[in-house]
Amino acid sequence: METEKTERIVNNFRFNKLVKFRYQKKELQYCVEIKANINNTVLALLQYHKETLPHPLLLVARHINNNKAEELKEKGIQFIDAAGNAYINYYPIYIFIKGNKPHDLFLKNTAYHLFEPGGLKIIYALLTNADLVKQPYRFIAETANVALGTVGWTMNDLIKLGFVIDMGKKGRKLLKNEELFNRWCIDFNEKLKPKLLINKFTGPENWWINYKLKPEDAQWGGEVAANKLTKYLKPQDIIIYVDPEKYQNIIIKNRLRKDINGNIIFFERFWKFDINIELQEIVNPILIYADLINTDNQRVLEMAKRIYEEYIDRHIWKN
């Protein structure tokens, strides 16, 4: 078996390794992607990118439980984990093993702090404003709505991991935007977004169509934002990012009722609103995309792909 030590980039997707091995005089090659944890966001990203790779994708993880094993198999994503579970479907080899339990040794994590809630807020601010990385730490803290000390250790981690380069008098520059963005999407949905939840509600059907939010107080996210941006996708879940002290006005005016299983979901807005942005009623396409891929709904995932191609890859990264 041969393994390339360096990461590879194909069609803007950075995978960890290219692995080659021989079986019965046949050379088999995999594009290997290593992920510590598996959630809906990871699956959406893998499913989106796997069709663009020159070789089959092989996911390597700490542990993949029975449900995720079946889901990966159904989506055609091959995998192995540290507990001995595997799905390999590369002719003439076929393996499907599930049910092995993880060892405690494999669950220990020495992750960098920048992928914790405070760091994720800063990364979002940097991804949505390319020039922000050049600014003084105090300005970055104010923009990202975090403590000044949080900026210090987050920037140190970004530099250590190669996402930011400090060029001295020329200032700092953000690198590997695509890789950082993919990692942010995963950890935002897993670590930061749950902490932002205010409450869930139900309300009159289609109430959101004609209701105008005050952008300085609240903005549409998720499927409603995607609808307003593209005029496609009829929303099923309604996400609103709002200043916590202002959401009661929306509830009263639209006769919304608190419901633990409701499809109207209020999250705390975690960034400083910029009155000069072009699309004030909806959140940034980067956040819309992150909202959309946190699902297993194929219809929504297809819209996420469109948002990425038309608004993130074509405009944000290019600028």
pLDDT in tens, 41-70: 888 888 877 777 888 888 898 888 888 899
280 CB-near residues (< 8 Å, 6+ apart):
215, 219
CA 293 to chain centre: 7
Give me the helices (H) in 204-268, please.
222-230, 247-254
**Segment 181-194, tens digit of pLDDT:** 988 998 999 999 99
Q: How confident is the model at residue 31 (pLDDT cuts 50, 70, 90)?
A: confident
Task: Examine the pLDDT at 105 and tell me if it is beyond 70.
Answer: no
Among 49-58, 119-128, 129-138, the least confident range: 49-58
CATH of 2-107, one of 2.102.10, 3.40.50, 3.30.920, 3.30.70: 3.40.50
User: Cα–Cα distance between 319 and 308 in angstroms, integer?
Assistant: 14
pLDDT digits (tens, 9 = 90+) for 156-166: 999 998 999 98
The span from the CA of 287 to the CA of 14, in Å, is: 21
Average pLDDT estimate for 276-290 = 85
Question: Which pLDDT belongs to residue 319?
Answer: 52
Q: Which helix (H) or strand (E) holds 13?
A: strand 13-15
In this prediction, residues 177-205 reach a mean pLDDT of: 92
Instruction: State phi, psi for 19 to the nearest 5 degrees.
Output: -110, 130
pLDDT band, residue 278 (cuts 50/70/90): low
Indicate the helix (H) or strand (E) that contains 200: strand 197-202
Range from 159-163, 169-173, 222-226, 277-281 that averages highest in pLDDT: 222-226
Q: Which CATH architecture has domain 113-175?
A: Orthogonal Bundle (1.10)
Owner of token pair 């159904």: 74
Tens of pLDDT, residues 5-22:
445 554 455 556 677 777
According to CATH, where is 1.10.10.10 located in the chain? 113-175
* Residues near 294 by beta carbon (within 8 Å), at least 6 away in sequence: 39, 40, 41, 44, 189, 193
Rounded mean pLDDT of 208-234? 91
- Please tell me the predicted confidence (pLDDT) of residue 179: 85
The sheet with strand 26-35 has its strands ordered as 2-3, 17-23, 26-35, 57-61, 78-81, 86-90, 93-97
Is a pLDDT exceeding 80 seen at residue 107? no
| Helix 117-128 vs helix 285-292: crossing angle, to nearest 10 | 130
pLDDT band at 87 (very low <50, low <70, confident <90, very high): very high
Where does the chain have alpha helices with state H?
A: 40-50, 66-75, 117-128, 137-144, 148-160, 177-187, 193-196, 222-230, 247-254, 285-292, 298-307
Structure-block tokens of residue 306: 């469109």
227/218 Cα distance (integer angstroms): 17
pLDDT tens-digit profile of 134-157?
999 999 999 999 999 999 999 999
84: which residues sit within 8 A by CB, 6+ positions away? 97, 100
The rounded distance, in Å, linking the Cα atoms of 9 and 174 is 18
Region(s) of the chain under CATH 3.40.50: 2-107
